[in-house]
């Protein structure tokens, strides 16, 4: 499968390549990964300064305090997928996971007005997502609204994987995103760390995450 890869806030594509190296190695070389970098310069994310150059360039896909910026990022992502795709799946961490989820939900909301088109991805791997907002509500009415299962149901209807750390403070955000996905197609794996991608330093966590990802890939290929 060919995966689009979206990094977290205050990192870059190189960082995300390193962060996902263990997962990608265990998944095997039958899969390919395309890393797309944010366009907004951003301060370096905490926790990576011991591994990466503090004078390097780090990015965000959008300003978390600006709904307009998030909408611009969704338009850019839509154009990228159309120009460079198709992609079989998306592998995304933190802000990247939020962006991928909003993209999937926005496309479904748009399609519901004109017929059911094919989703932009066949499966999605969400790593430690942050909250996702209703892009169409902002686009159409200027309304800033958090997506909620009680209101929005399960708009993501493709196989998904939800991976987060037992020790991260924001794990409820990942749990909320899971509830926005088809329960029968969702796979969960909780690793022992915090707000991070399971890496080679925690072999058992990498193995568990890869098993969950393979499960979603099999569902997507049926």
Measure the CA–CA gap between 137 and 142, rounded to whole angstroms: 7
Asked if pLDDT for residue 195 goes beyond 70, the answer is: yes
Categorize the per-residue pLDDT at 132 as very low, low, confident or very high, splitting at 50, 70 and 90: very high
Where do the structural domains in the chain lie, given as residue ranges? Answer: 2-221
Residues 6+ apart with CB under 8 A from 3: 31, 32, 33, 34, 87, 88, 89, 90, 91, 125
CB atoms within 10 A of CB 203: 12
- Above 80 in pLDDT, residue 117? no
Give the per-residue pLDDT at 202.
81
Q: What is the structure's pLDDT at 115?
A: 52
Q: What is the pLDDT of residue 20?
A: 97
Percent of the chain with pLDDT over 90: 86
Mean of pLDDT values over 5-22: 97
In angstroms, the CA 146 to CA 42 distance is 24
**Burial class of 12 by CB neighbour count within 10 A (0 to 12, 13 to 18, 19+):** buried
Cα→Cα distances 3→33, 69, 98, 100, Å: 5, 24, 16, 12
At the topology level, CATH places domain 2-221 in Rossmann fold (3.40.50)
CB 16 within 8 Å of CB 36: no
Average pLDDT rounded to a whole number, residues 147-166: 96
What pLDDT, on a 0 to 100 scale, did the predictor assign at position 50?
83
Q: What is the pLDDT of residue 175?
A: 96
């Amino acid at each position: 499968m060919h995966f689009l890869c979206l990094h977290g806030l205050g990192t870059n594509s190189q960082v995300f390549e390193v962060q996902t190296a263990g997962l990608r190695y265990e998944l095997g070389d039958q899969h390919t990964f395309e890393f797309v970098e944010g366009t907004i310069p951003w301060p370096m994310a905490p926790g990576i300064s011991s591994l990466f150059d503090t004078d390097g360039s780090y990015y965000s896909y959008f300003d978390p305090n600006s709904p307009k910026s998030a909408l611009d990022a969704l338009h850019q992502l839509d154009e990228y997928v159309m120009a460079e795709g198709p992609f079989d799946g998306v592998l995304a961490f933190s802000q990247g996971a939020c962006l991928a989820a909003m993209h999937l939900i926005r496309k479904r909301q748009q399609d519901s007005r004109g017929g059911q088109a094919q989703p932009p991805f066949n499966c999605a791997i969400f790593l430690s997502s942050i909250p996702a907002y209703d892009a169409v509500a902002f686009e159409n009415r200027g309304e800033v609204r958090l997506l909620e299962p009680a209101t929005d149901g399960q708009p993501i209807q493709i196989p998904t994987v939800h991976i987060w750390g037992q020790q991260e403070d924001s794990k409820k955000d990942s749990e909320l995103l899971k509830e926005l996905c088809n329960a029968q197609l969702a796979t969960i794996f909780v690793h022992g760390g915090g707000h991070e991608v399971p890496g080679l330093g925690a072999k058992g966590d990498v193995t568990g995450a890869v098993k969950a990802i393979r499960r979603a890939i099999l569902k997507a290929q049926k």
